[in-house]
Amino acid sequence: METYYNPEDLKKFGNIGEYQKELADKFFSYYGSVFAEGALTAREKSLIALAVAHTVQCPYCIDAYTNDTLEKGCTEEQMMEAVHVAAAIRGGSSLVHSVQMMNKVKQVSM
Amino acid sequence: MKSLKASGHQLASSVAQLGLLEQEVAEKLKLPSFRDKLRSAGLFPLQPTELSVFQVNVGKMCNQVCKHCHVDAGPDRKEIMTRETMQQCLDALAKTTLQTVDLTGGAPEMNPDFRWFVAEIRRLGRHVIVRCNLTIIMANPKYRDLPEFYRQHQIEVVSSLPFYNADKTDRQRGKGVFADSIEALKLLNAVGYGQEASGLRLNLVYNPAGAFLPGSQEGLERQFKRVLFDEFGIVFNSLYAITNIPVSRYLDYLIQSGNYDGYMEKLVNAFNPAAAAGVMCRNTISVGWDGQLYDCDFNQMLDLNVASPVRHVRDFDPVRLSQRAVVINEHCYGCTAGAGSSCGGTTA
Ligand code: SF4
Ligand code: SF4
């Protein structure tokens, strides 16, 4: 069955340099630096990436960072809590805009 | 749970395992053989470096039946090293200046001559490492004094603890294993193991509870140290992160869970020449329960004897053994992936 997303394509991510090498090289070098141990541990960064992956709903990233968080010794509970953080911010960011709605309602109502 | 051997499983045969591995890499995944990878890294044939570790597998009997066990060990395995073969090991050791003797199994402590053997090796002045599965200490009152025995003989204890919580540990090693392991670690700590300045080394071994590779050894060690200390007051020296080798029960798990192709592909793609240069078979010789010699414990389980006229510990000859090439096969990809993997953790 043909689908827009193919798990095999994740392995081809590195090939994006085929059409624009310089920018791809810069991106991957930046990417590598971002995820290295720093003020945050590589493990903490991986959990953030997992949460963001769910927010941008990228199946490739969810696949990659599920694996990566497991490799870095995270528990399933920690991984699910990270996704809840993403969900809370997503929900909250909708809800906090309701203040705008309320303002407008109050402005135009008697 | 029974061993593959006791349940008459097809994968109890080393020939079946090797056939499956070769077919998988070459025909199914169409990936280069381990031999070709080594060749491209300038490492074929794989030559030994200086021999420094004498590893002895004193038997396949174990109180546990872990899902990932490459030995296919368990209570139903009766292969046990005799005192006569142990004496041959001691004679071999006496002929060399080899400093480290690494005792493994099964649960090595279940061999009735284990304590005698340890005392004799120590009399030769060699450093002894025991691969203790921790739960053996709790399995029977007769083993409860093992921490004290280890302390008396200044043994280095290396113990598997695949995770810092019960859920993942028990899924891999059996129900209740985590709780017993924690109790055993407390007993080891109580006699001084893992304590600063005691000189009694206690190292833990992490291996992934599933079809993925271990992450950074340093990162995992930090995490293990923090959780084990905060939650249980347990201390230890180093954590060794080990990759699961696709052999025996772990191979069976990969196939049963549908992870075999993906895992092998991952291992091959993560081949690291630096890790390959540091594989443990280059400085280790592995003695089987019946005295036969191998390049490592994995080769031992695959019945891949050393490629040398010296095939038994009774004929041990370090000079002739140093002239051999290490026997390799597709399972070796497990030792060379990423940061590499050996009985002492990462190699690159
Ligand atoms: S992994 Fe170790 S403790 Fe588990 S069954 Fe095998 S030998 Fe025993
Ligand atoms: S499996 Fe054994 S022979 Fe193969 S690379 Fe690892 S240690 Fe060496």
> Each residue of B183-210: pLDDT tens digit?
999 999 999 999 989 999 999 999 999 9
- Best residue of A67, A69, A77, A79 to probe chain B, by most B CBs closer than 10 Å: A67
- Closest C-alpha to B178, from B213, B138, B140: B138
User: Whose alpha carbon is nearest atom 3 of ligand 2?
Assistant: B328
| Domains contained in chain A, number | 1
CB proximity B208 to A under 8 Å: yes
* Consecutive H or E run containing B225: helix B217-232
pLDDT at B123: 98
Centre of ligand 2 to C-alpha B296, Å, is: 6
CB proximity B241 to A under 8 Å: no
The tokens for B298 are 């994995």
In which band, very low, low, confident or very high, does the pLDDT at B273 lie, cut at 50, 70 and 90?
Answer: very high
- To the nearest whole number, what is the mean pLDDT of chain A? 96
In a domain, A74, yes or no: yes
* Consecutive H or E run containing B16: helix B14-22
Range of the domain at A69: 40-109
- Closest C-alpha to B252, from B79, B7, B27, B26: B7
Residues of B in contact with A70 (CB under 8 A): 208, 210, 212
Of the candidates B165, B208, B219, the beta carbon closest to that of A43 is on B219
Atom of ligand 1 nearest to the CA of B135: 3
pLDDT tens profile A9-28: 999 999 999 999 999 999 99
The tokens for B211 are 């079809």
Mean pLDDT value of segment B267-286: 97
**What's the CA gap between B106 and B75, in Å, rounded?**
9
- Closest C-alpha to B242, from B267, B270, B272, B206: B206
- To the nearest whole number, what is the mean pLDDT of chain B? 97
Decide whether any atom of ligand 2 lies within 6 Å of the B282 Cβ: no
- Cβ–Cβ gap B215/A73 under 8 Å: yes
pLDDT over 80 at A73, yes or no: yes
In a domain, A48, yes or no: yes
Torsion region of B30: left, alpha or beta (phi above 0 gives left; psi -120 to 50 gives alpha): left
Least confident interval from A4-13, A41-50, B86-95, B268-277: A4-13
Mean pLDDT value of segment B246-252: 97
Smallest CA–CA separation between B215 and chain A, in Å?
5
Centre of ligand 1 to C-alpha B10, Å, is: 20
List Cα–Cα distances, A98 to A55, A89, A101, in angstroms. 20, 14, 5
In which band, very low, low, confident or very high, does the pLDDT at A1 lie, cut at 50, 70 and 90?
Answer: confident
Q: What residue ranges do the domains of chain B occupy?
A: 4-335
**What CATH homologous superfamily does B4-335 map to?**
Aldolase class I (3.20.20.70)
Inter-chain contacts counted by CB atoms under 8 A, chains A and B: 36
SS3 content of chain B, % helix, strand, coil (to 5): 45, 15, 45
Predicted TM-score (pTM) of this structure: 0.94
In a domain, A53, yes or no: yes
In which band, very low, low, confident or very high, does the pLDDT at B32 lie, cut at 50, 70 and 90?
Answer: very high
pLDDT over 90 percentage in chain B: 99
pLDDT over 80 at B11, yes or no: yes
Residue A71's domain is classified under what CATH number? 1.20.1290.10
CB proximity B216 to A under 8 Å: yes
In a domain, A83, yes or no: yes
pLDDT over 90 at A71, yes or no: yes
In a domain, A14, yes or no: no
Amino acid at B191: V
Residues of A in contact with B216 (CB under 8 A): 42, 72
pLDDT tens profile B60-117: 999 999 999 999 999 999 999 999 999 999 999 999 999 999 999 999 999 999 999 9
